[in-house]
Amino acid sequence: DLYVSMSSPDAIPSGPIVPTAVDEAVRATAGVSRVVEGQWAYATIDDELVSIQGVADGSNAVTLASLPADVRAGLLAGDGVALSKALGTTLGVTAGDSIDLPTPTGVQNVRVLDLVDYINAAGGTMAISLESMQRFYDRPGATYLEITVDGDVAAVQDSLRSTLPPEAFVYTGAAALEGTSAAIRQSGALAIALQWIVALVAAVALLNTLTLSVLERRRELGVLRAMGGGRGTLARMVLAEALSVGIVGGVLGLIIGAGLQYLSTLILGASIGIPVQYNASWTVLLYGLVALGLSLLGSAPPAVHASRLNIVDAIAAD
């Protein structure tokens, strides 16, 4: 329900250690039914920066909850560690192998119990028992506290904030998720904004191309008018040209875009350590229609210009 750490919700609570006074105050707060300690730390293994989470029994950490029951029991007993699949692939290890973990107390040889789909907080993620982590890093205590509330979460949160020192952060699980998700949403919003900027630039480029095409064919268009071609005919010619560009460009854009999106999905899954499913939706056709609409929109001014050409001036043009 709540977390307490000395780090802000938008950062991994790798330190400093929660003071004993804060820990005791949390446990003494009315409405707090359970407190589970945990730690985060970092280590460099074979040039890979690895984020390590020390978990204890009763923790709701994903690194623990994702494990099968037998592996979870072995990890909590200190029999070994669990690695993200991406990290295991990078290090070339599988379940049952051993790796050397550099720590402040020396290099520790630990057994890999399982490879799991963990999000890569750094170059990879590792789960280890809290007791082993405290011993290896010579760092008793916790860098964060998981708090289960019996009753009104908001009331307990307000009570903790009024009791604990200002340097202690008290936040909900939703706030922790919000902090870690904000950067992802910002990247997504930036990508969408860039897409529409590119679409606008493409529409302006098409407008410029069609306008130049009309200007370069003034004599041709003037001859057509002199032979009986109506203003509407010339306008439809320009619109048909833009329509063909829109159809061809839209189809090519859908094909190339779908291929690039598939590759991006593979790269995203490899970078975060969790397989991302690629699903093509019929809504992608909407982008094809948007491309067609932009083509027609960009062709409107040149079409109007072509329909208003003066026959004599057009034929006399160089």
DSSP strand E in 96-173: where?
98-103, 106-116, 124-129, 144-149, 169-172
Residues 141 and 18 sit within 8 Å (Cβ to Cβ) = yes
pLDDT tens string 63-80: 898 899 999 999 999 999
For strand 48-55 and strand 124-129, is the pairing parallel, antiparallel, or unpaired?
parallel
Give the three-class secondary structure for 140. Answer: coil
Residues 143 and 14 sit within 8 Å (Cβ to Cβ) = yes
Query: What was the pLDDT predicted at 316?
Result: 66
Query: What was the pLDDT predicted at 105?
Result: 92
pTM here is 0.66
Name the burial class of residue 66, with classes exposed (0-12), middle (13-18) and buried (19+) by CB atoms within 10 angstroms of its CB. middle
Residues 250 and 288 sit within 8 Å (Cβ to Cβ) = yes
DSSP strand E in 168-260: where?
169-172
Residue stretches of the chain with pLDDT short of 50: none
| Distance, CA of 79 to CA of 71 (rounded, Å) | 9
For strand 106-116 and strand 81-84, is the pairing parallel, antiparallel, or unpaired?
parallel
| Distance, CA of 67 to CA of 115 (rounded, Å) | 9
Question: CA nearest 210: which of 296, 289, 312?
Answer: 296
Residues 149 and 33 sit within 8 Å (Cβ to Cβ) = yes
Task: List, in order, residues 6 or more apart from 133 with CB less than 8 Å away.
Answer: 39, 41, 52, 54, 139
> Which position has the token pair 């750094």?
122
Residues 35 and 13 sit within 8 Å (Cβ to Cβ) = no
| Distance, CA of 70 to CA of 202 (rounded, Å) | 57
pLDDT tens string 248-271: 887 888 888 888 888 888 887 776
CA dihedral 210, 212, 216, 220 (to 10 degrees): 20
Query: What was the pLDDT predicted at 83?
Result: 92
For strand 48-55 and strand 2-5, is the pairing parallel, antiparallel, or unpaired?
unpaired
Phi, psi (degrees; rounded to nearest 5) at 114: -165, 155
